[in-house]
Structure 1
Amino acid sequence: MEGISHRMVKVNGIDMHIAEKGQGPVVLLLHGFPELWYSWSHQILALSSLGYHAVAPDLRGYGDTEAPPSSSSYSCLQIVGDLSGLIDHLGVEQMFLVAHDWGAVVGWYLCLFRPDRVKAYVCLGVPYRPRNPKMKPVETMKLAFGEDFYVCRFQEPGVIEAEIARAGTAEVLMKILTDRNPVPPCLSQENPFGIYPENLVTLPSWLTEADLAFHVTKYSQKGFTGGLNYYRALDLNWELTAPWTGALVEVPVKFVVGDLDMVLTTPGAKEFVSNGGFKHHVQLLEEVVVMEGVGHFINQEKAEEINNHIYD
């Protein structure tokens, strides 16, 4: 972490923590769930050494950034408002965008609402999906995958937080970060995270004890509600984005995903990405890279390759 500096900035009415290093054009790095700014450590160091100003915030609800309690405070308009305020605070008109998981979803909204602020977007793991005007997303997921699909299980405030507390913060984080099951994740009622004392999980080479400990410390202090509120605002986002139904993303995009990523292996996703649907909605899609044998947390698992893809 040598040389990475930290500060708090006031944006859109909240206090946001950012980690940053380097001078030059701004590269904004948006993390997912259950991650933090820290998941971009390799990219911050690499990009700053290449002449860029790498900036990785803890998004609203995460880490050292303020976490309003209500899920209604986590709409796409508010999150993009936070990022617009951050870009203003950095004193630039435009920046390069790199984002993963929920950060990638937020990244698509940023491209949709404020394309003038994004020079180009390197999206990791989550392709753009157009709004379905006929059905809300949570209902759609219930019909497709059942009541136990993880997004559905995350909806009721306090329920999954209590399950995480019972299973243990460290155990749950390790399970999520190391899971490579390519089927849509469902959480049973009895043991939602499938954690059994006799099944010891070993850390992969790309995830150190120090990496895990950092996340465990922050989530133990902050809790998971902020991150879970992004899932709880899915239907609210659907309501708010009605004016953008059918809108196209008009920003140059490079998309990188692992072939074992459960987002890509979800039924219909590969076809959407490869058969023209993705390109129709993201017309400046320049490249799709599918990395073999790579899971969901791609920027950590294949840090050097991802650094090269971003720089290219």
Structure 2
Amino acid sequence: MSMDWKHGYAFTNGIRVHYVEAGTGPLVLLCHGWPESWFSWRHQIAPLAAAGFRVVAMDQRGYGETDAPLAIDAYHALNLAGDLVGLVHALGEEEAILVGHDWGSMVVQYAALLRPDVFKKIALLSVPYLPRNKLRPAVRFEVATQDHHFYQHYFQEPGKAEREFELDIRRSLLGVLYSASGDAQFDEAHRRISFARFAKGTRLIDNLAIPATLPDWLPAEDLDYLTGRFELSGFRGGINWYRNLDRNWELTPFLDGAKLRQPTVFIAGELDGVLKMTKDEYANLAANVPNLVGNHLIPRGGHFIQQEKPEAVTELLLSFLNKR
């Protein structure tokens, strides 16, 4: 980690938000997904700052050193988007470019739809723009879980998944990160293991692929640091984001048919399982994002693309950020 990075705290939207900052210039706000932290952007912060941007990577609500409210409904999409708006203003800025990965991509989408005056340019990693579905998530869960568990449905019972993950935090993080990576797809045994969809009667943590040696993109010191973040926060806050999927749907009927109109780039690993889960949305990406300026699938990359293929992601982000 660079000694030039500044750790800061902002009080906004009723919580204290921790962030890491480097550089000066137009504000670029980096928003991580599950189960991650600001640290998932460790490879992008310095190059983006060196290119003339004020780069802020935040611990989102429920993660790391950012507050983790107890109430499940504290994690609905309007609060999460409000955290981004509040952080921009707490930093003394009027607008920002948003970059989001996984759940961070989804929050970026809400924030961009609700505050186009603040967020005028966005980058989505892994999760394409997801227009509001006609069916509430609970109905879709019923269909998806007839024969197998689906991880998002498995997360709905308060306390269940977090207890499993916290039995061995380091193993849990390694298992999730590796299982969803491109590397796992090149191992004959590991590619058949999935925590996204798994047999009933088994636990989610029983369905994690654990490599014999750490992948090159996740050295021991990086995994240890991330483990320390979850030893601090636990898993409950991050999983509570999933427990608001139905609530998010109920809160946003006014977004039916909404298109994402900011200049937008999409970046994902070609082996990212999310592309299968969102195949219809990905197929309709250009129609639903009229100002899509780039759609990039990185060879051999999986879900955690900014960690697995950092140079490629950084290059694509810099190209997008420097477009006028």
What is aligned with 1:289? Answer: 296
Look up the match of 1:136. 136
Letter in 2 for 1:264: L
Alignment-mate amino acid for residue 165 of structure 1? E
The farther-off stretch of 232-241 and 183-192 is: 183-192
Alignment TM-score, normalising by the size of structure 1 = 0.93
The Cα shift of 1:221 comes to 2.1
**Are residues 1:79 and 2:80 paired?**
yes
Checking the alignment, whether the CA contact within 8 Å between 1:187 and 1:193 is kept in structure 2 is: no
Residue 119 of structure 1: CA displacement?
Answer: 2.6
Q: CA deviation at 1:184?
A: 7.6
What is the deviation of 1:139? 2.4
For 2:42 and 2:296, the matched residues in 1 are separated by 22
- Give me the whole-angstrom Cα distance separating, in 2, the residues matched to 1:184 and 1:255: 25
TM superposition shift of 1:89: 1.4
Q: Percent identity among equivalent residues?
A: 39
The answer on 1:280 being equivalent to 2:280 is no
CA distance in 1 between counterparts of 2:90 and 2:211 reads 45
| Partner AA of 1:290 in structure 2 | L
Q: Verify: 1:93 aligned to 2:114, yes or no.
A: no
Q: Counterparts of 1:104 and 1:259 in 2: how far apart (Å)?
A: 17
Structure 1 residues 114-166: Cα deviation after superposition (integer angstroms, max 9, x where no partner):
11112311111001111123x21132133135461000000000011122233
What secondary structure sits across from 1:286 in the alignment? strand
Q: Which residue matches 1:208?
A: 219
The code of the aligned residue for 2:214 comes to L
Structure 1: tracts of 5 or more residues without a match? none
Counterpart-to-counterpart distance in 1, 2:55 and 2:122: 14
Q: Does 1:227 align with 2:199?
A: no
Q: In structure 1, what residue type is equivalent to 2:204?
A: P
Deviation at 1:229, TM superposition (A): 0.5
User: Partners in 2 of 1:248 and 1:114 — Cα distance?
Assistant: 13
For 1:110 and 1:60, the matched residues in 2 are separated by 15
Secondary structure at the aligned position of 1:116 is classed as coil
CA RMSD in angstroms comes to 1.9
With the length of structure 2 as denominator, give the TM-score of the two structures.
0.89
Instruction: Quote the residue 1:193 is aligned against.
Output: 205
Once the two structures are superposed, what CA deviation does each residue of 1:13-72 show, in whole Å capped at 9, x if it has no partner?
Answer: 110001010111111000000000011011111111111110011001000000001110
The secondary structure found in structure 2 opposite 1:18 is strand
Pairs within 5 Å for 1:1-312: 1-2=1-2, 3-133=4-134, 135-146=135-146, 148-166=149-167, 168-179=168-179, 180=184, 181=191, 185-188=196-199, 189-194=201-206, 200-266=211-277, 269-274=278-283, 277-312=284-319
Q: Secondary structure at the match of 1:151?
A: helix
Q: Quickly say closer, same or farther: Cα 1:203–1:142, change in 2 above 3 A.
A: farther
Taking the aligned partners of 1:45 and 1:196, their CA distance within structure 2 comes to: 32
Per the TM alignment, residue 194 of structure 1 is displaced from its structure 2 partner at its CA by: 2.8
| Maintained 8 Å contact 2:34/2:102 | yes
CA contact (8 A) 1:259 1:291 kept: yes
Q: Quote the Cα distance in structure 1 between the aligned partners of 2:266 and 2:93.
A: 24
Q: Is the 8 A contact 1:60 1:226 kept in 2?
A: yes
Unaligned runs of 5+ in 2: 185-190, 320-324
Q: Using a 3 Å threshold, how does the CA distance of structure 1 residues 196 and 235 change in structure 2: closer, same or farther?
A: closer
**Cα distance 1:247–1:214, how it changes in 2: closer, same or farther (>3 A)?**
same
| Aligned partners of 2:166 and 2:235 also within 8 Å | no
Alpha-carbon distance change, 85 to 193 in structure 1, aligned in 2, over 3 angstroms: same
Q: Structure 1 residue 102: deviation in Å?
A: 0.5
Residue 206 of structure 2 aligns with an amino acid whose one-letter code is G
Q: Check conservation: 1:259, 1:293, Cα contact below 8 A.
A: yes
CA contact (8 A) 1:28 1:56 kept: yes
